[in-house]
Structure 1
Amino acid sequence: MPVEPPSSSPEEIELRSALTDLIVEIFRLNGDLLQSGDALVGDLGLTSARWQVLGAMSRSPVSLPVAHLARDMGLTRQAVQRVVDDMQAGGLVRLDPNPHHSRAKLVAMTGQGLGAYEQAMARQQAWADNLAADLQVSTIIGAVDLLQILRRRLAGDNTTTTLK
């Protein structure tokens, strides 16, 4: 049983416990999402990590260097670089010259990469429909709001303190 600071009120203890339960559940959910994603797209030559990088690329109207993709994804450049290197070797992406920086190549999807991503997204729609069955949109929006608040607080921005 965790030891609480002597000044903790019952409400503070309950809040801290609930937040800890939420964080543990997020870790479990992350593992389950990665495992499910790998199973969903494995036969397409994708992993959850590759799919995530292709998704970040698809949301940008222009090709981006690895560092920009990593920043957009909230990951380290090194982690994204490893995935990009694997995808380049597998023919899913190519590295194009960057007119603004000679060493930071632009990552672009190949036709094979685009095809795999489009198939993955088609599968994801049915998967998401099944996962969301019997859930209310307002519940999902509330969860998104809470996760965004926590993420901003972890990043040091405490300006958003309440849910909508």
Structure 2
Amino acid sequence: MNEIQNRQHVVKRNRPKRTMEGDAFSAFAITALRLAGHLTAAGDQLAKPAGQTSARWQVLAAARRGDMSVAQIARTLGLARQGVQRLADVLQGEGLIAYADNPQHQRAKLVRLTTEGADRLAVIEVSQAGWANGLGAAFTSAELDAARAVMARVMEMLEGGETGGD
């Protein structure tokens, strides 16, 4: 027991100091991670009546464009290509998307939404509109735009490899 107390003492003593901004960013990041979990759970509930999940919904929505490969969808969503490929294969097996020839790349097929996929996506989007309108009413457009801008800037920094650390 004494050894554990000594280790905790060393950890506390050697903990790097964060600036006030570092503390604020850490709190922001924790809140964003918690929000992501809540949004995924809400998305799953919104997609459930259409027999979908948040992840499948995202792929269906991307497939609506019709000009993206699985790799492009994965990059756009910030997900692993392999995971998106597995989802796309399942959605294709269910007739919700179809693969089409890609004039830009012989092997990387384009992902296209089928009529059935569009119908399922429409069910989700009707529910999502009411949900978003209800939550959005609690904020001003300016508040939401400012929050989105901060999140977009953080994503750009992380995607660019900027960490701000030494």
Q: Return the TM-score normalized by structure 2.
A: 0.82
Note if contact 2:100-2:111 (Cα within 8 Å) is conserved in structure 1.
yes
Corresponding residue number in structure 2 for 1:3: 15
Contiguous gaps of at least 5 residues in structure 2:
1-11
Superposed structure 1 runs of 4+ greater than 6 Å apart = none
Q: What is the letter of the counterpart of residue 59 of structure 2?
A: V
CA distance in 1: counterparts of 2:48 and 2:26, whole angstroms = 33
1:86 aligns with 2:90: yes
* Cα displacement string for residues 50-98 of structure 1 (whole angstroms, at most 9, x for unaligned residues): 111122233x3x4321111112222221121111011112221111222
Q: Which has the higher helix share?
A: 2
Match of 1:152 among 149, 153, 156: 156
Corresponding residue number in structure 1 for 2:129: 125
Identity %: 34
CA distance in 2: counterparts of 1:63 and 1:81, whole angstroms = 16
Contiguous gaps of at least 5 residues in structure 1:
159-164
Corresponding residue number in structure 2 for 1:42: 48
Q: Which has the higher strand share?
A: 2
Corresponding residue number in structure 2 for 1:72: 76
Number of aligned positions between the proteins:
150
1:18 aligns with 2:18: no
1:107 aligns with 2:111: yes
RMSD: 1.9
Greater RCO, CA 8 A, separation 6+:
2
Note if contact 2:63-2:97 (Cα within 8 Å) is conserved in structure 1.
no
CA distance in 2: counterparts of 1:128 and 1:156, whole angstroms = 30
Corresponding residue number in structure 2 for 1:162: none
